[in-house]
Amino acid sequence: MTTLEAAFARTRAEGRAALVAYLPAGYPSVRGGIDALVAMVDAGVDVVEVGLPYSDPLMDGPTIQAAVEAALATGTRTADVLATVEAVARTGAATVVMSYWNPVERYGVARFATELAAAGGAGVITPDLTPEEAGPWLAATFDAGVDPVFLVAPSSTDARIARVAEVTRGFVYAASTMGVTGARDQVSDRAESLVARVRAATSLPVCVGLGVSTAAQAAEVASYADGVIVGSAFVRRLLDAPSAAEGVAAVAELAAELAAGVRRP
């Protein structure tokens, strides 16, 4: 059983959805990002997404872009991402990397998968990599023992969902809406039907992301999905914090609120 499989088996046994949280590595610093993520795990996060900062983030909204640009400006590199994964994985939380394909390809496909596994990483979410172009990556992740996670969206056909489910391991990432990341007043009403369509194609856990920022939204998504993914809301807490220490406290507070949300009956 992989770390991701164990995480979802545990939350399923507890009768609830998993709380999946994202922060980009290197913000507000490498150490500061690690401290924030560890605090979030302590407050109830089940699965951690460590973002690999990239200069052309097609899916990221302005909140995440601001943090990513700051991380790149201070020199955050792939080695720092792997160090962040290693530190967070030591908490016992399933830890994955969220990365656009170009940085992985530049680093070396097999090298990235192997070094991620050595750091304790459980998988990689690659939002801009299609199954048709993923052959070398699927081979590398299989050899390294890490899970490749692909995305589906409301616009995905049933055939596309089936194809994604065929190559995905760990969980399927269901983007609740078309467009970039960012907290929203409400989660798309197309998310629930998308989850149902994915479940018709696979027994893998289905996690919903893009838009969740409150405990009430987390509870809503948790009522029909296996996992609730939150990113921009955590990043916003760090961006707005007057100091690194206050940022850690702010994301821990939000994590506790969201963890209570996914645990609501």
- Please list, residue by residue across 217-235, b when 16 or more beta carbons sit within 10 angstroms of its beta carbon and e when fewer do: bbbbbbebbbbbbbbbbbb
Query: What whole-number distance in Å separates Cα of residue 44 and Cα of residue 25?
Result: 20
**Per-residue pLDDT averaged across 105-127, rounded?**
98
Domain that holds residue 29: 3-262
For residue 142, the surrounding DSSP H or E stretch is helix 135-144
Amino acid at 197: R
Residue 240 phi/psi, 5° resolution? -85, -10
Q: What is the CATH number of the domain that holds 200?
A: 3.20.20.70
Tell which wins on pLDDT, 181 or 239: 239
Strands 147-149 and 206-209: unpaired
Q: Does residue 182 surpass a pLDDT of 70?
A: no
pLDDT over 90 percentage in the chain: 89
Distances in Å between the alpha carbon of 211 and those of 77, 156, 206, 221, 230? 28, 18, 16, 11, 8
SS3 231: coil
What's the mean pLDDT in 90-95? 97
Number of domains within the chain: 1
How high is the pLDDT of residue 187? 54
Is the model's pLDDT at 184 over the cut of 70? no
Of the residues 60, 80, 115, 220, only one is catalytic, namely 60
Q: Phi and psi of 165, rounded to 5°?
A: -60, -30
Does residue 60 have an active-site annotation? yes
CA geometry: angle 199, 175, 33, nearest 5 deg = 120
The pLDDT value recorded for residue 243 is: 97
pLDDT above 60 (res 195): yes
User: Cα 258–263–264 angle (5° rounding)?
Assistant: 100
Beta bridge partners of 173: 151, 207
95 vs 207: CA distance, rounded Å: 15
Segment among 67-71, 98-102, 210-214, 259-263 with least mean pLDDT: 210-214
Does the annotation count 132 as an active-site position? no
Mean pLDDT of 125-138: 96
Catalytic-role residue among 5, 14, 42, 49:
49
Question: Which of 60-64, 90-94, 223-227, 240-244 has the weakest average pLDDT?
Answer: 60-64
